[in-house]
């Protein structure tokens, strides 16, 4: 009897001592199970309603591709930990739409779920960084596997669909690019040769003194090759026709890199 009491005591103490690790273990196991869970469990009706109401890219898809898109959204959500910052929770709408922006970007890339990035931090508005001493709309931190987003700026990206600014796509594009560098052997999201071609083009454009007048990309694109890629992705989806008309070679590389052509989607091909 005494042994049982001591044993129970040890178990209880151990549980309280390690409960954080145990909790994290469950969460980790849960995320590892994302591929199976997303295959087995039905897509929640609420997710479909949110996509249908708020996500134009999804609205343009065929019935078959809508189903494929939903599955990818579910798997993305199961595979990530959404962490609210300065708010109580990350709402279902926020989870679904953030996942949807990642799926929009990677829809033509089978098996790409930006899995190197496990945590998504969501702030209600632009947030102050004590490191840069500036307000930020979003960032991607490969060291910690974190994507950070301001919800207000994320929503603005989809409220104004043709201004070539879309925070969600911009940050997901950073994540995809990092993922392609980090996981190049295991799961290359795209061919490294194509990315080299893309970067060569970027360097050529950005070193051209007449860049500002020659292209419709905002000058911020030439900060470095990472920003160029993200700004190009924003234009790829938001001003597809103009992009193709202005820089058809670069547009064609992006079509191959991302395995999709938004122009074909818009005309219903
Ligand atoms: Zn950026």
pLDDT at residue 164 in the model: 93
Q: Does domain 17-189 have CATH number 1.10.472.150?
A: yes
The rounded Å distance from CA 206 to ligand 1 centre is: 16
Average pLDDT over residues 194-213: 84
Residue 257 clears pLDDT 50, i.e. is over it: yes
Q: Compute, in angstroms, the gap from residue 202 CA to the centroid of ligand 1.
A: 15
Q: Is the pLDDT of residue 221 over 60?
A: yes
Range in 17-26, 71-80, 200-209, 218-227 the model is least confident about: 17-26
The pLDDT tens digits for 16-61 are: 455 544 444 545 566 777 887 777 788 999 999 999 999 999 999 9
DSSP string, the chain: -HHHHHHHHHHHHHHHHHHHHHHHHHHHHHHHTHHHHHHHSPPPHHHHHHHHHH-HHHHHS-HHHHHHHHHHHHHHHHT-EEEESSSS---HHHHHHHHHHHHHHHTTSTT---TT--EEEEESS-EEETTTTEEESEEEETTTTEEEEEHHHHHHHHHSTTSS--HHHHHHHHHHHHHHHHTTTT--SS-HHHHHHHHHHHHHHHTSTTHHHH--S-GGGGG-HHHHHHHHHHHHHHSHHHHHHH-HHHHHHHHHHHT--HHHHHTT-
Residue 250 binned pLDDT confidence (cut-offs 50, 70, 90): very high
Q: What is the pLDDT of residue 22?
A: 47
User: Does pLDDT of 213 surpass 60?
Assistant: no
CA of 52 to the centre of ligand 1 (A): 28
pLDDT higher than 80, residue 123? yes
Whole-number Å distance, alpha carbon 100 to ligand 1 midpoint, is 19
> Residue 12 Cα, ligand 1 centroid: separation in angstroms?
47
Over the stretch 61-91, which tens digit does the pLDDT of each residue have?
A: 999 999 999 999 999 999 999 999 999 999 9
> Structural domain boundaries of the chain?
17-189, 191-269
C-alpha 175 to ligand 1 mean position (Å): 10
**Interval 105-124 mean pLDDT:** 94
Per-residue pLDDT at 219: 87
What is d(CA 171, CA 149) in angstroms, rounded to the nearest whole number? 8
Distance 157 CA to ligand 1 centre (A): 14
CA of 242 to the centre of ligand 1 (A): 22
Ligand 1 centroid to Cα of residue 174, in Å, is: 7
pLDDT tens-digit readout, 150-189:
999 999 999 999 999 999 999 999 999 998 887 655 566 7
Q: What global pTM score does this model have? A: 0.86
Q: How far is the CA of 18 from the centre of ligand 1 (A)?
A: 38
In the chain, what percentage of residues exceed pLDDT 90? 67
Q: What is the mean pLDDT of the chain?
A: 87
CA 230 – ligand 1 centroid, Å: 6
Q: In this structure, are strands 81-84 and 138-141 parallel, antiparallel, or unpaired?
A: unpaired
How remote is the CA of residue 88 from the centroid of ligand 1, in Å? 27
Ligand 1 mean position, distance from CA 142 (Å): 13
Q: What pLDDT was estimated at residue 130?
A: 81
pLDDT of residue 132: 82
For residue 176, how far is its CA from the centre of ligand 1 (angstroms)?
12
CA of 74 to the centre of ligand 1 (A): 26
CA–centroid distance, residue 2 to ligand 1 (Å): 62
**CA of 42 relative to ligand 1 center, distance in Å:** 35
């Amino acid at each position: 009897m005494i042994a049982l009491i001591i044993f129970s005591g040890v178990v209880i103490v151990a549980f309280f001592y390690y409960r954080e690790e145990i909790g994290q273990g469950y969460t980790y196991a849960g995320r590892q199970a994302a591929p199976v869970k997303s295959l087995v469990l039905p897509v929640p009706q609420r997710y479909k309603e949110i996509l249908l109401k708020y996500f134009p890219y999804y609205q343009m898809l065929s019935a078959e591709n809508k189903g494929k898109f939903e599955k990818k959204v579910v798997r993305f959500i199961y595979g990530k930990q959404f962490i609210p910052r300065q708010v109580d929770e990350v709402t279902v709408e926020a989870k679904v739409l953030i996942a949807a922006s990642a799926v929009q970007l990677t829809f033509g890339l089978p098996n790409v779920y930006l899995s190197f990035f496990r945590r998504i931090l969501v702030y209600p508005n632009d947030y102050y960084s004590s490191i840069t001493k500036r307000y930020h709309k979003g960032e991607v931190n490969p060291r910690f596997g974190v994507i950070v987003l301001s919800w207000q700026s994320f929503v603005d990206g989809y409220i104004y669909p043709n201004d070539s600014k879309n925070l969600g796509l911009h940050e997901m594009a950073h994540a995809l690019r990092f993922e392609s560098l980090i996981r190049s052997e295991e799961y290359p999201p795209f061919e490294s040769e194509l990315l080299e071609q893309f970067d060569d083009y970027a360097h050529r454009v950005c070193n051209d003194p007449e860049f500002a007048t020659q292209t419709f990309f905002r000058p911020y694109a030439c900060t470095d090759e990472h920003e160029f890629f993200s700004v190009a992705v924003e234009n790829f989806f938001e001003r597809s026709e103009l992009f193709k008309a202005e820089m058809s070679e670069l547009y064609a590389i992006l079509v191959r890199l991302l395995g999709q052509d938004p122009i074909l989607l818009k005309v219903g091909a």
